[in-house]
Amino acid sequence: MASAHAATLRVGVTALPPSLFNPFANTGLPYVYTWSAVFDGLTVIDENGDVQPWLATSWDTTDPLTWRLQLRRGVVFSDGTPFTAESVVAVAELLTSPAATKDVVARMMSFLDGARAIDDTTVEIRTKTPTPLLPRFLPQFYAVQPQQLRTLGLEGFAKAPIATGPFAVERIAPNMVTMRAHAQSWRKPKVDRLEIVMNGEASARKQAVLSNRIDIALNLGPEETAGIVAEGGKEVYWRDAAVWAYQFAGSPENPFGLKPFKDIRVREALNLAIDRKTIIDALLAGRTIPATQPAPPGVYGYNPDLPPIPYDPEKAKRLLAEAGYPKGFKFVMDATVGSGPADAALHQTVAQYLAAVGVTAEVRAISSNQLIRNVVEGGWTSDSFGLYYNHEPTADALRGLDTQSCLWHHAWYCNPATTPLIKAAHVEFDTAKSLALRQEVMAAYRNDWASIFMHQAVRFAGTRANVSGLKVVNNVIFYDQIGLD
């Protein structure tokens, strides 16, 4: 048998980052899948949603606006230079610069004020406002080689990155990135080379696994992984810190938008009309769980006291009649297709359940880019739309409410009674009070039936039989643990 250390690992993804290796440009999929081969954050979120040491080994506050971090010793960049506090200072300078406001991570960390090196392995991070959950933001505080960043600027660095992760970039092509093992990495990989290959079609990625052109295909659905398993391969799945939901396209001036949605009895009825368990079993291979609120288990602030949402079509019909819609009503639902497992079938199945209680949902497919544009700019032309409550990368229940509350500049859901709770939770340092406030917010969203809550996000990958150690947590792929047996 050939040594695993002489092998090339080939991974198929739906898209490569348009920003290349500027890891501050985005926090979402599929781009983080590529970046996690190269970059390390200061902390990491584990399978239970807890913060763990990574490049920072410990941290504490010296006052409400200052954090002192101890950094891991003996870490080197892929060019052989040591990782020190200077890298943290350089990234802080970048994220607080006026030019960085176009990058998602800089906007997400707009509370940053700066950083100061105490010595090579000790650094202080200052914030403009109290940020009690700062360690949850630090998985996105990637370590970069400071001289390379300052010499080339962020745009140049993105084409020639130097970082501490298990692989170093050799060549960037339009449809593939080629990397070599970073032999001195503190997370030395089990293979010598890595190729990340782009192919937007799930069926094509499945066939690439079956024909031995790639070893791992990410972003598949259960139908594709079942086909791979039938030919001797493997299925890997994991749940993300996100909840799929159908949102009501309202605004602060026009809460819930469409007239029927303004009645809480209608919003509850739409939730009761859907059999989540049957949908999950039929379309998602039973690999996830129904949602009860905006946050799933494992997210900080998840409220375990909220009961399951029952499937009760008779009560749904009764509530609709009480609200003045005994014959139902019609609405338009925007939804993307191809961005999640079995999503086209999911949208149509939900529409069928609603039709059974007299409500007609016209599903209208839109692109992911259009969906994002609508979130950022407003301009919804539908009555509802499918969108995750996405709590990554912080695994904090408030993260998904950055856009889905009165705090968003183009809010579609805005309940002024909940806003003070959200603001208080953001700045509360007391752990028990911080958790209780978040759980109260989750209950408020559930009790207001703020959306049609569906299920925790689930992801599927198919691999060849000889692949071992594929682990994905909070969007991070632990490439150093993947082997080819």
Provide φ and ψ at 372, rounded to 5°: -60, -40
Rounded mean pLDDT, 302-310: 98
What pLDDT score was predicted for residue 372?
86
Residues 438-470 have pLDDT tens digits of: 999 999 999 999 999 999 999 999 999 999 999
- The confidence score (pLDDT) of residue 338 equals 80
Q: Are 438 and 301 in contact (CB under 8 A)?
A: yes
d(CA 101, CA 482): 35
In terms of residues, how long is the chain?
485
Domain 1-38+165-233+464-485, classified CATH 3.40.190.10, yes or no: yes
Q: How far apart are the C-alpha atoms of 87 and 81, rounded to whole Å?
A: 11
What DSSP line would sit under 221-288, residue for residue? -HHHHHHHHHTT-EEEEEEEEEEEEEEE---SSSTTSSGGGGSHHHHHHHHHT--HHHHHHHHSTT-S
269-272-278 Cα angle (round to 5): 150
Per-residue pLDDT at 267:
98
Q: Are 187 and 41 in contact (CB under 8 A)?
A: no
Distance CA 195, CA 208 (A): 13
The edge-to-edge listing of strands for the beta sheet with 122-127 is 56-63, 66-71, 122-127, 112-119
Structure confidence by residue, pLDDT tens digits, 112-125: 999 999 999 999 99
- pTM, entire model: 0.92
Where does the pLDDT of residue 268 fall: very low under 50, low under 70, confident under 90, or very high at 90 and above? very high
Model pLDDT for residues 336-354, shown as the tens digit of each residue:
988 789 999 999 999 999 9
| Residue keyed to tokens 């938008």 | 257
Using pLDDT thresholds of 50, 70 and 90, give the confidence band for residue 154. very high
Token output for 134: 């700062």
Per residue in 357-368, pLDDT (tens digit) is 999 999 999 988
Which CATH topology does 241-457 take?
Answer: Dipeptide-binding Protein; domain 3 (3.10.105)
Tokens describing residue 14: 């739906």
What average pLDDT score do residues 410-427 get?
95
Q: Please report the pLDDT score of residue 452 as a whole number.
A: 98
Whether the predicted pLDDT of 3 surpasses 50: no
What is the average pLDDT across 197-219? 95
Instruction: State mean pLDDT over 298-323.
Output: 98
Helix (H) or strand (E) holding 10: strand 8-13
pLDDT of residue 6: 62
**pLDDT score recorded for residue 1:** 37
Select the CATH number that applies to the domain covering 39-150 from these four: 3.40.630.30, 3.90.76.10, 3.30.70.260, 3.40.50.2300. 3.90.76.10
**What ranges do the domains of the chain cover?**
1-38+165-233+464-485, 39-150, 241-457
CATH topology agreement for domains 39-150 and 241-457: no
What does the pLDDT average to over 143-147? 98
Amino acid identity, residue 422? I
Give the per-residue pLDDT at 337.
Answer: 87
Q: In whole angstroms, give the CA distance from residue 123 to residue 126.
A: 10
Distance CA 235, CA 229 (A): 6
pLDDT of residue 5: 45
